[in-house]
Structure formats: C-alpha cells, structure tokens
Amino acid sequence: MSSESVQLIYPSDETVRNATISGMDAYRALCAEAEADYEGFWAKRAREMISWKEPFTQVLDESDAPFFKWFADGKLNVSYNCLDRNVEGGLGDKVAIIFEADNGDVTTITYKDLLTKVCKMANLLKSKGVKKGDRVVIYLPMTIEGVVAMQACARVGAIHSVVFGGFSAQSLRDRMSDAGAVMLITSDGQFRGGKSISLKTIADEAFALGGCECVKNVIVFKRTGGECNMVAGRDEWLHDLLPGQPETCEPEWVEAEHPLFLLYTSGSTGKPKGVQHSTGGYLLLAIMTMRWTFDIKPQDIFWCTADIGWVTGHTYITYGPLACGATEIVFEGVPTYPDAGRFWKVIQDRKVSVFYTAPTAIRSLIKACDANAAVHPKSYDLSSLRILGTVGEPINPAAWQWYYDNVGGGRCPVVDTFWQTETGGHMITPLPGATPLVPGSCTLPFPGIMAAVVDETGADVPLGQGGILVVKRPWPAMIRTIWGDPDRYQKSYYPADFQGKYYLAGDGAIRDKDTGYFTITGRIDDVLNISGHRMGTMEIESALVSNPMVAEAAVVGRPDDLTGEAIVAFVVLKGKRPTGDDAKRIVKELQNWVGKEIGPIAKPKDIRFGDNLPKTRSGKIMRRLLRGLARGDTAAQDTSTLENPAILEQLKG
C-alpha cells in the first residue's frame, strides 16, 4: 500500500450521541472490563440479554479444552427468546418481517402472527415424531417459511441444518447423510431473477444417490406451483399438514450447550465440515452484535441480504434481529433483477436504515452503475440509511469508498465485519458510534474477543508485521465441534503448532503500526511467497481493483523456478474483454500500476481477462479452480458448485 499516513473517517457527532456504544472511551471500557474479569463480562451480558428458564451458575468450563462449555447448567429456548418474549413484552403487533418476493410482491408478518406460524410448524414436526436432538435438513428458498422452519426446529429442540438452495443434489445428499437427518423440509422450487428453479427435483436426485435412508419424512412447501413428483409414504405438502395443527406449542427448554444447528462449510480438503453451534452462547453473540455492531433501535428497518443457507442468514436474519425485537427485510430476489438498481429501490421503498451486504455484490453493482447511470444509487432516495455493513470477505478500499460515498452519502458508518461460520457472530468490527474508520480495515476486535496476530510458533508479531490471525480465549458463540469428527475439529482449529491453546482462524492478518487496526490479508493458503517475501493476495487484488479500468480481480500463486512463486491475476474489466495487442497493452499498464501501488515485487507475472470470475452460486470466487488454471492443470476439477463453467475457457491463458 502507499506510504501515506492512514486517513481516519470519524463518526458524526449525531451518530456518536445516539449510539448504544458511544465514543472510543466506552469501547475501551468494555474491553478493559473483559480483560479484568473475562467470565464476568460474558456472564453479565448473558443474564441481561437472554431470558433463561433456569439460570446458569457455571460460566465457562475449560476442563475438556478445546471442547469448551458456556453457561452449561442454564436452560433456555431460542424461539422463546425470539418470539414469545417480544409478544409478552407488548410487541405482538409490531412487524417482524417484511418479505419482498423476487417479483416485487410484499408481505408483512407481525411478531404475534409469526409466533403462531412457528408454533403450528413446531406441532407439525412433533406430529411426525421429530424430537429433541433429531436433525432436520432445510432446503428452502428465501421466504418467511425458511425462517419459520428454522425457528420451529429450535422450538422443539431439533437441530437444523440448512442447505443453500443453490447447492447440487450431491451436496444435499452428503449433508443429509452426514447429519443423519430424519426429515427434509423443501419446496417445489424457488424464484430467482424472474425464473423458476425446481428444488424438489434436486432433492429427488439427492435421494436417488442413496445413503439417505435415515430421512423418514419430506415436507414440501408450495412456492412456484411447478410440477412435482411426490413419493407416497414419504412426501407430503406443507399446506395439507398445517391447517389441523394447534396454534400454541410449549417450547422445549434445552441446556445452553444443546446444539442449535449444524452448518456445513467446505474444508480446504475433503468432505464438508458440519460446524456445530450451541444454543446459549450462540444466541448471546447474535444479540450483542445486533445491539453493538448494528446499534439496532426499535424504529430501525434492518436488511441483511444474505441467504439463510449461510451463517450470515442464520445470525443476522433468523435469530439476531428477531431476538432484538427488530423489523427486518427478507428478500427472495437477486441484486440485478429486474435491473441493477434493485437493492437501492428496496432501500428507498422500505425505508431501510441498516443495510448489510457482501463486497462481491457491491463490486458487481459498481460495474453495473458505471455502465448505466439509471441504476446508480444517486438515482434513488437512500436518506433512510444510517449504518452500512459488509460481510463475507475483506472489502478492498476502492469498493469501501464507493459504498461509503454513493450508498451512504458520506453519512453512514461502514461496519466491515470479520467473522466466520465457525465464530457464530462478529469477531473484529468497527462499532458505528465509536470507531474511527479506515477503508479496507475491519479495525478492532469486538469487546470480549481476544484476537491477535502471531507467527508460526504462536508468538505475537510486532505491529505492522503480517502473521496468522488467532483468538486467544474461547468465546460463547464459537464452534463446539465438527459433527461426528472431534479429531478434525481439534486439528483444524486448535492445532499442535500453538500447543492447542489458540483458535486458528485460517486467515492471515496485519495490524497497523499506528492504530493497531486489523486488516485481513487473505486465507493462510492464499499468502504467496515471492522471492522470500510474504505477499497477501488480498493486497494485490485491492491494488488492481483500485485501477479505474478494473471491476473485479482475483489473485493466486503458481510455482516459479526463479522466484519460488509467481503471481497470476484474473481480471474483469469494466469495459469489454480485451484481445490481441489491446490485451497486451492493458497487461503492461496494470503491472506497472500494481508496481506503483505496492512495489515491483507485487507485479503479477501473468494477467488474464475474463467476462467474469468463476463463482459458486452464492457468489464466492472459486480460487481452487483459479489455482488450477494458473498452474496449467488439465486434470478435471470438480465444478459442480460453479455457476458459470464457460468462464474457465476464457481464463486458460
């Protein structure tokens, strides 16, 4: 990065004045409280923010590390905390969810009606023999029903595992089989970008692959009205089963350590890992981050654009907002349908005040706005916004700045949240009324999170030096184990390199020598070693994307005889894909640009252009495929989760 001193962007006086955590002194006081009495810090919030059926007396049990337990002798129910207590607290008639369908139709549901819906669904689960500890796989579109299904599982003590609606039959089969699910809740299909896509057909294919004999019942939600094969004795329509169910359902009061859900995440190798989350600790961080990171207020309209198939949709759609009694948007559509102004239109029409989305979405919308002024955020009234957030991957400074200037009008703090499926909620993030912002930096740890940057032996590295991101103390919302594979959990997250004491995030990070702010430099396996110099791929990507010609870039390494590793950049330009002499000229320009931004050592050896980058259906760049392309591997790679296979040909080089 250039050597100029860091420009801090301070929150406005109004933001500071109205914020739950107001000013840096308040933030530092919380961190000092956690330092002085770690267990007391978390216990105090757990007593204040959660309604317990049986209060806990134990806070943290480290006797079987790294299999930590929090609040273990306490009992609660997550669905009660999200719904009943809000209704009992006088919020029954408050709108819980504003659902906007792909075609723009809007449905609202109050807390009272949502509670009734969840109770009926919970009674349906019970009528099919689903009981505490059973696993239920949910394969549904982004609708109110998805949230209801998850809440109903929580209500009866069943463990849900949501599978993203873009996943293939094989992925669904593997997850049902690994979890030993007794039930699948799915849909005839889903709407995306004006098209109807079947889900039930994919579910049928998953069963045909074998290994899911554990699933006794398949409940099908009618969403699209498309043709549907129903297997007698196994498959039933949701609308046939619900009407007869009672409207009340006593919650199953479970231990704080009872698993709330499994969520499968792809490992760096082999089969997906079933990340297991607890009930009490997970709910606590969901509520704390809603209150402190998003500064949620009773009048806010909160919109997280994630899918319930990802952890972001779990924590910041299904559980966090509802546990705080907030009104939230659930959105079925895609950001580019009917045009690339869809996000801005929803914010304008629904008066969204807190908006949370992914850098990938922001970068693709920048490209669309450059091509068509009509879909630029400036063409919409976004004055309702007060806080912006980003999630999913580190955001490059240029995209951060565009988001801050054009979407937030330079008024709204951007909370760039670093966290993972495994962490349950935000780990490193600005707090909007406290933290001075730096584009591209997730700034400082959330109060109570003991994050650090260490070397390969676990020793702290000096500020300004890159290293490995770890968390030094267990926290309530952390992963408890990998379902059915405690050894893999231990090896993956508490490796022997650190004497099994630190949680390994799997990311590289660097702390600014002046501010102490964290910047995530990319996955550890995405750190390149060029002539003995460690280079984070993220840094090079940021430099490329800061060039006005570039819309998106991904950087990987390939073996090189001279330098050990060479940098290969895959680039999408804002204009059309160049060829011949034109391409050669732009390659030169971009190499020089990166050399100027970071230093000659960071110049990509090879730059290839495509109309897009290879992405999963959830919008994640598939770096594994890019590494193969960079190396010139001709061996067939698994492309089953790839949204756009034709792109690979363009990028072969």
Rg, the chain, Cα only: 24
Which portions of the chain are predicted below pLDDT 50? 1-4, 268-270
* pLDDT at residue 19, rounded to an integer: 97
Which residues are within 8 A (CB) of 286 and not within 5 positions of it... i.e. 6 or more apart? Answer: 315, 316, 319, 320, 323, 424, 425, 477
Q: What is the pLDDT of residues 422-478, one digit of tens each?
A: 999 999 999 999 999 999 999 999 999 999 999 888 899 999 998 999 999 999 999
d(C-alpha 5, C-alpha 392), whole Å: 27
Give residue 270's pLDDT.
Answer: 46
Tokens 């909007």 identify what position? 432
* Cα 295 to the center of its chain, rounded Å: 19
pLDDT of residue 269: 43
pLDDT in tens, 461-520: 999 998 999 999 999 999 999 999 999 999 989 998 888 899 999 888 999 999 999 999
Instruction: Look at residue 1 in the predicted model and tell me its pLDDT.
Output: 37
- The predicted pLDDT at position 560 comes to 79
Reference 562, options 597, 538, 529, 591; nearest CA is 529
Go through the chain and tell me how many residues it has: 653
The dihedral built from the CA positions of residue 193, 194, 200 and 206, taken in this order, carries a sign that is negative
Q: What angle do CA 259, 263, 265 make, to 5 degrees?
A: 140
Give me the torsion for CA of 296, 299, 303, 304, rounded to 10°: 20
Give the count of alpha carbons within 13 A of 254, CB side only: 27
Reference 230, options 197, 204, 210, 199; nearest CA is: 204
Buried/exposed 184-223: b ≥16 CB within 10 Å, e otherwise? bbbbbbbbbeeeebbbbbbbbebbeeeebeebebbbbbbb
Count CA within 13 A, CB hemisphere, residue 528: 28
Asked if residues 83 and 489 have their Cβ atoms less than 8 Å apart, the reply is: no
Please say whether the beta carbons of 74 and 52 come within 8 A.
yes
